[in-house]
Structure 1
Amino acid sequence: MCGIVGAVSNRNIVPILVQGLQRLEYRGYDSCGVAVYDHGLKRARSTSRVAELLEQVGAGHLQGTTGIAHTRWATHGAPVVHNAHPHFSHGPGTDATAKPGRIALVHNGIIENHDELRAMLQARGYGFASQTDTEVIAHLIDSLYDGDLFDAVKLALPQLHGAYAIAVFCKDEPHRVIGARAGSPLILGVGKEGGENFLASDAMALAGVTDQIVYLEEGDVVDVQLGKYWIVDKSHKPIQREVKTVHAHSGAAELGPYRHYMQKEIFEQPRAIADTLEGVEGIVPELFEAMGNHRAGEGAYRTFKDIDSVLILACGTSYYSGCVAKYWLESIARVPTQVEVASEYRYRDSVPNPKTLVVTITQSGETADTLAALRHAQSLGMAHTLTICNVSTSAMVRECKLAYITRAGVEIGVASTKAFTTQLAGLFLLTLALAQAKGRLSDEQEAAHLKAMRHLPAALAAVLALEPQVISWAEDFARMENALFLGRGLHYPIALEGALKLKEISYIHAEAYPAGELKHGPLALVTSAMPVVTVAPNDALLEKLKSNMQEVRARGGVLYVLADADTRIESAEGIHVIRMPENYGALSPLLHVVPLQLLAYHTACARGTDVDKPRNLAKSVTVE
């Protein structure tokens, strides 16, 4: 969500800025823009794609050696050009639509006290050209500017309440860009030639430009100039941050033979699971010390021995992976587990337990609600923290003591697929590690589980071969406006995930229920125009599930069933069955979710929606 790129160089940096925005398009946005210094402030903005912005830049011959660029996901103000970033300041008493003032700024996050700041600045004579909270920051810095932009930014930041990552430059000080972060990610890229330096919200934006990255910490302010930079911490004391070599390959974003990134990522799941499990020879707690985050005396083994419960914090698809993990953790490891929606947890009164293992799940490691929930749990005295995350350099990994890094690779499609299944793989390993630490996993059980996990890539490949059958279902679903998804036990969260995928990218209203709840309300919605997708593994609840299916058929509903081969559920009038290749026991959710991903994808294709960039959604949700 929202991308920032900034640069100071001796060469024209507009191509670098725009290319950086293109590499961040996958995060989701509804407007974009670029501003440079060229004998004053100049910019181009668009509510279309970055490709259209590039055409504007070329037509206007926009160029400069200092500049900033942005992709915006609208929060304050509609996605129209005058709300697009970058924003310019306008001096007191000047017309906000007149020529720009001296400050240019881009911003990720939300400024919660923007109304009060706007009123204060209007009283000082500042005019506003947008409805955004961002323009307030530009005017505030302008009002504090006295010849040194770094000082003006430092004075402005304590007045901002909320989350932000900003990049700002001033026409009176060419070759200088100031960055700051609090609650939203920002990195510094150290250039390799000509003394140039960069800012970005994601290292991928700088792929091919530099691999020398400094991850700014919470509260940092950075002064970026030609051939030099310096950083101060939240107390405004000078500090050194480690320069890391980060290989953010842009090649990961190539579509290859696929029609959309989502389709590519669905078919990458066998490889992603294999990569995530690479090097796992046995179940040991040390698997969760891979990042070296643990402190002396606080390694995974001691933590796993000491804790008596698990609290999982996550949002969206990651939350559903946590719901699956609850079944595993309680049935295999015998550890009481609670799963909380991160955005709700931090705002309710809860009963903290210092012996709880707090587990966060996030693809990006920058999800604002999940980071805030983690910090809230820590503030309550729950110090045992672990994350399942796809980005080893993210804020979440840095803030948790233990981590398991999934290896899904870059996920471009907004609707998560391979990130979800690799999260499940990491969570199953966590379940086994906790079970072992507590003496609840025999050698025979460990061997059987490891064998099943190693077979997952082949099993997933067999499920992907069902795509032609799923396409025939999608042709039916494309004509519908509503759908129900049913599951029982650890497949209920898979039904939830299937419904989420369908609504995200096809815009069909979809809901999921535990199948036993059907008769307690949702059955009233069932008609021939309401397809009912049923996840039907051959487990202890199969016969109960069959009874729920009969309730649907008795009301004229049409069933679409994902059935294990030995369930004895056959296709008939009003019942469409896709037979799964094999029963996979505890790991069955990883297989059953794949046809649901394909169903959503092919239904969206049939309806002609923007599969990879669904309306109103963003990939990395870095605002509350």
Structure 2
Amino acid sequence: MSAARLLLHRRSSSCLQSQSRLFSASSPLLAGLVSAYVVSPAPPLAGFSLPASLPSSSSRLSLSPATAAAGASRRTLSGRPHAAQRRWTAEASAPETAAATAHAAEEGGQSEERREEWRRRRRGPEGLGGRRLFSSCVSADFEDRRRPERLCSASSEGDGESNARSSAAGDGASGAQRPFRWSLLPVGAVLGVALGASPTAEDRAPPSRWLPRLGFASPALARCCGIVGYLGDKEAEPVLMEGLELLQNRGYDSCGITSISAAGELVTTKFASKGSTCDSIDILRREGKLRHAGNCVGIAHTRWATHGGKTDENAHPHHDWKDRISLVHNGTIDNYALLKKALIERGCTFRSETDTEVIANLIGWYLDQVAEDLGDASTEAPESSAASASERFAPAAGALALLDPSLGAEATLALSSASRTPSGESRPRRTLSFEEAVKRAVGELQGTWGLCIVHRDYPDRLILARNGSPLLVGSAGGQVFVASEPAALARHTNQYLMLKDGEIAVVTAQGVGQLEATRPVHRIAQEEKIEVSPEPFPHWTVKEVFEQPQALARAMNYGGRIAPYQNRVKLGGLDQNRQALLAIKNLLICGCGTSLYAGMYGELLMQWLKCFDQVRAVDASEIDLYHFPKADAGVLLLSQSGETLDTVRACQLADVQGLKKFSVVNQVGSLLARMTNCGVYLNAGREVAVASTKAFSSQVAVLSLIAAWFAQNQCVQTFPDRCTALMDAIHRLPVYAGMTLNCRAVCRELAAGLKDAKTLFVLGRGFGYPVALEGALKIKEVAYLHAEGFPAGALKHGPFALIDEAERTPVILLIFADQHAASLLNAAQQVKARGARLICITDEPDIVRDVADAVLVVPSNGPLTALLACIPLQLLAYELAVAKGLNPDKPRGLAKTVTVM
């Protein structure tokens, strides 16, 4: 076997080697079976196999050029080379890889096209920031690994009988069968027992040395609540508390602060909310102020429970078991259970149930490791047999035995001679630095993270790491501020830098190193600095409901998005990509929750104007590859925050399909805004209340503009009169929204009579149906009242059974003067006949006066009349919450931005 094939074979077999170690101690015979299978020689590579254990070369960035140079000659504790070393190895082995490919082509009759396909699959799909993302792996990497026969069958087309036989009896993605050597079974069993019983290797090996690597990456974008950090010459506690208060709209059930005292000790205060309230910030403000007085560096966090319950112990920040470091974390770690088990076996203790404490202890474990013990290790496989490998790495006095997965055999790494004096005495050995320990630990993680870390011995710095969870850094007057969203920075600085996925940064009072010279500076919009209190309103929810006329005006850019005298829509982001967007014939609209219902309204508008051959709105959390149209397809992504995990995942799936994408988001510079080709900003302003109100109406307004833009840019408009009617309705929308707000007093009276109801139904049809769904959602979110939205025609298919005459089940009916009025009036009479309490929202009160128990009137505004009906539904939900003594701004169990699965 040539050197190139040996190298590729041993790399691809390292994954099986690592898996065999997992059960070697408990099942020597099973370990022997796997070992005998792995060490059996493989025939030449067939097809275009992808070596399963080759890592991505761009998954992490080094701390500095010096650190990168040092990392190029070292391995992570899982045995994987650092990014710089992986790049060097890939370049060095390229000729050998080409030779192996050519040899396989000679034996199997491969064509040039198949060799190119092999190279493409070897590189693998790339996701955001060079990391493999869940979306890419779903269609390519994940499918290839779970269904290897697809690769084999694809590679055998036109290859003749030889490759057909290989495809039929192939092994995995390689399409090549490794013969099982029964003679090696006893040897493998003995080796399995020896490996499992080796205390030296187990104690010295890194926590993830024995852990299997998943064949696909986990969701690479996630965030849980808020991070705040401060470093400067002023007291940290007021800055951190202010940041937590600004970030509490994300939703939280616990919070905490860590600062470093003048004596060099970590001071941590953290609390969980009691019961169903969100009072942990109030508790922290009362209990933590004196403890952190005078401390000038600190980190803080609002947590939304994902791993572990809502307890003080599970709240962030978390320490390592020796109380040297403290960190806060946004995101989820997929392999935390395996890492935790390995750390416990190495003597680490845990105080919580969270995945975050695993990161803290992993960094702490690395801080105790001797730098030389983790030093140089070749990634090149020897050209001779395993016996020569053992001779090359012969054990020496004071040597450390490690398993090198890239070699597929046990190798002994001799310590540097500098660790001993000429007389043979041991010299003090350097342990890993704070920065290097963080870098090594991050290299072991699988999942998503935004980390802000402090060390009690380094009070002059913060270390940040990001993968899929936003981290922002701003500075002003010798002070450095860290946050997970711009709102927490707005009162201290008007500009910030944003870390990219895979980056690790050391932050000091002097700045953030090379980031300042290479990274674009983002500026915070002026309006983000204003909103600090809901006054004169008692709650943010009602304040934001009453801000809808202004938000709708901003959605139209105060008329700037409509050309004067022409009544044509001007959307700069779409105009710049006009040719590509107009080629879309089949549009898929993706959103979650409120954004989904806004998308459903937009779907109806686009169908009404005949903008596309096919358009439909789907829940982004349920989308998969088969949902996308096959030809002339495009994707419109809706998200208020621009960070919703399920919507981001849908965007990644669209990337896999190579579809045209554009987005409608509210947060400027958010993730979706950066991932899509173009889009339209809502300009609705920041929402603080968890339940979205003004964002829904702004989304529908912007979708109306987009529908009109597509209709007006068609070669021949199908319904020009409808487009004109829509444009007129858009012009009137802000004024009519202000008129609708006058119904608050009626909503308050209705809420007093509905607060004891057990269930409620909202019925609509046509444009009223998505508004009915959104209204029911608001009542559920804010008032904790079971509410369901239904099409009016669906009552006889089940919901009629839930109407209780004795309880006088309340039913809200959206009925307007349109083509659906007759059928809706029939539905009103049917529910009334069954004893329901009927509340009608309408623009023509005369048509329901005889059947309705209460009427809420909205102005008539053509195709956007139904949108105005969302305002009385929002006010009714708010007044119900107030009548029941609930806090409408912070519903239990809900977060503003859903960024975890």
Contact 1:312 1:358 (C-alpha < 8 Å) held by counterparts: yes
**How far did 1:334 drift?**
3.3
CA separation in 2, counterparts of 1:597 and 1:517? 24
- The yes-or-no answer on 1:223 pairing with 2:468 is no
Contact 2:334 2:447 (C-alpha < 8 Å) held by counterparts: yes
**How far did 1:214 drift?**
1.0
Contact 1:365 1:396 (C-alpha < 8 Å) held by counterparts: yes
**How far did 1:567 drift?**
5.6
- The yes-or-no answer on 1:476 pairing with 2:750 is no
Q: 1:274 aligns with which of 546, 553, 556?
A: 553
**How far did 1:445 drift?**
5.4
- Residues 171-196 of structure 1, C-alpha deviations (whole Å, 9 max, x = no match): 1222111112222221111x1212x2
- The yes-or-no answer on 1:110 pairing with 2:332 is yes
Moved more, 421-430 or 330-339: 330-339
Q: 1:18 aligns with which of 236, 241, 248?
A: 241
2:562 partner letter = E
Match of 1:36 in 2: 259
Alignment TM-score, normalising by the size of structure 1? 0.92
Cα separation, partners in 2 of 1:441 and 1:16, compared to 1, 3 Å? farther
Match of 1:65 in 2: 296
CA separation in 1, counterparts of 2:641 and 2:772? 23
1:388 partner letter = V
Cα separation, partners in 2 of 1:441 and 1:197, compared to 1, 3 Å? farther
CA separation in 2, counterparts of 1:79 and 1:331? 48
CA separation in 2, counterparts of 1:386 and 1:428? 15
CA separation in 1, counterparts of 2:691 and 2:756? 21
Match of 1:425 in 2: 701
**How far did 1:438 drift?**
1.8
Cα separation, partners in 2 of 1:532 and 1:443, compared to 1, 3 Å? closer
CA separation in 2, counterparts of 1:277 and 1:441? 24
Moved more, 37-46 or 415-424: 37-46
Match of 1:504 in 2: 781
Match of 1:192 in 2: 476
**How far did 1:284 drift?**
6.1
- The yes-or-no answer on 1:612 pairing with 2:889 is yes
Match of 1:170 in 2: 455
Q: What is the alpha-carbon root mean square deviation over aligned residues?
A: 2.0
Contact 1:274 1:454 (C-alpha < 8 Å) held by counterparts: no
Match of 2:837 in 1: 558
Q: 2:678 aligns with which of 377, 402, 405?
A: 402
Alignment of 1:473-622 (within 5 A): 473-528=750-805, 529=807, 530-565=809-844, 568-572=847-851, 575-622=852-899
Moved more, 42-51 or 368-377: 42-51
**How far did 1:52 drift?**
2.2
2:766 partner letter = G
- The yes-or-no answer on 1:338 pairing with 2:616 is yes
Cα separation, partners in 2 of 1:86 and 1:514, compared to 1, 3 Å? same
SS of structure 1 residue aligned to 2:538: coil
**How far did 1:22 drift?**
1.0
Moved more, 557-566 or 519-528: 557-566
- The yes-or-no answer on 1:119 pairing with 2:398 is no
- Residues 132-183 of structure 1, C-alpha deviations (whole Å, 9 max, x = no match): 1111111112222344333222222232222221111111222111112222
1:3 partner letter = G
Contact 2:259 2:266 (C-alpha < 8 Å) held by counterparts: yes
Match of 2:521 in 1: 243
- Residues 428-464 of structure 1, C-alpha deviations (whole Å, 9 max, x = no match): 1111111122232777655543332121111011111
Match of 1:97 in 2: none
**How far did 1:539 drift?**
1.2
**How far did 1:583 drift?**
1.8
Cα separation, partners in 2 of 1:510 and 1:443, compared to 1, 3 Å? closer
**How far did 1:28 drift?**
1.1
- The yes-or-no answer on 1:308 pairing with 2:595 is no
CA separation in 1, counterparts of 2:718 and 2:363? 59
Structure showing the higher helix proportion among its residues: 2
- Residues 87-111 of structure 1, C-alpha deviations (whole Å, 9 max, x = no match): 01114xxxxxxxxx21111011111
CA separation in 1, counterparts of 2:721 and 2:601? 23
Contact 2:470 2:485 (C-alpha < 8 Å) held by counterparts: yes
Match of 2:711 in 1: 435
1:413 partner letter = A
CA separation in 2, counterparts of 1:571 and 1:109? 55
% same residue: 36
Moved more, 212-221 or 76-85: 212-221
Alignment of 1:65-464 (within 5 A): 65-91=296-322, 101-145=323-367, 146-189=431-474, 191-194=475-478, 196-230=479-513, 240-247=518-525, 249-278=528-557, 279-282=560-563, 287-289=571-573, 299-335=576-612, 336-346=614-624, 349-353=626-630, 355-382=632-659, 384-439=660-715, 440=717, 446-464=723-741
- Residues 572-610 of structure 1, C-alpha deviations (whole Å, 9 max, x = no match): 5xx323242432221123201111001100011101111
Contact 1:360 1:387 (C-alpha < 8 Å) held by counterparts: yes
Alignment TM-score, normalising by the size of structure 2? 0.64
Contact 1:604 1:611 (C-alpha < 8 Å) held by counterparts: yes
- Residues 454-478 of structure 1, C-alpha deviations (whole Å, 9 max, x = no match): 2111101111111111112111210
CA separation in 1, counterparts of 2:483 and 2:777? 31
Contact 1:569 1:577 (C-alpha < 8 Å) held by counterparts: no
CA separation in 1, counterparts of 2:899 and 2:706? 26
**How far did 1:60 drift?**
2.3
Match of 1:27 in 2: 250
Contact 2:689 2:889 (C-alpha < 8 Å) held by counterparts: yes
CA separation in 2, counterparts of 1:160 and 1:355? 39
SS of structure 1 residue aligned to 2:448: strand
**How far did 1:300 drift?**
2.6
CA separation in 1, counterparts of 2:720 and 2:653? 38
**How far did 1:510 drift?**
0.9
Match of 1:46 in 2: 271
Contact 2:255 2:271 (C-alpha < 8 Å) held by counterparts: yes
Contact 1:36 1:63 (C-alpha < 8 Å) held by counterparts: no
SS of structure 2 residue aligned to 1:252: coil
Task: Count matched residues.
Answer: 597
Contact 2:603 2:615 (C-alpha < 8 Å) held by counterparts: yes
Moved more, 45-54 or 130-139: 45-54
- Residues 366-420 of structure 1, C-alpha deviations (whole Å, 9 max, x = no match): 11111111111111221x1111111112111111111111111111111100011
Cα separation, partners in 2 of 1:228 and 1:243, compared to 1, 3 Å? same
CA separation in 1, counterparts of 2:872 and 2:718? 31
Contact 2:561 2:570 (C-alpha < 8 Å) held by counterparts: no
The structure with more radius of gyration? 2
CA separation in 2, counterparts of 1:344 and 1:154? 35
**How far did 1:349 drift?**
3.9
CA separation in 1, counterparts of 2:449 and 2:610? 40
Cα separation, partners in 2 of 1:570 and 1:591, compared to 1, 3 Å? same
Cα separation, partners in 2 of 1:351 and 1:277, compared to 1, 3 Å? closer
Moved more, 36-45 or 558-567: 558-567
2:759 partner letter = N
Contact 1:23 1:250 (C-alpha < 8 Å) held by counterparts: no
Contact 1:333 1:432 (C-alpha < 8 Å) held by counterparts: no
SS of structure 2 residue aligned to 1:29: coil
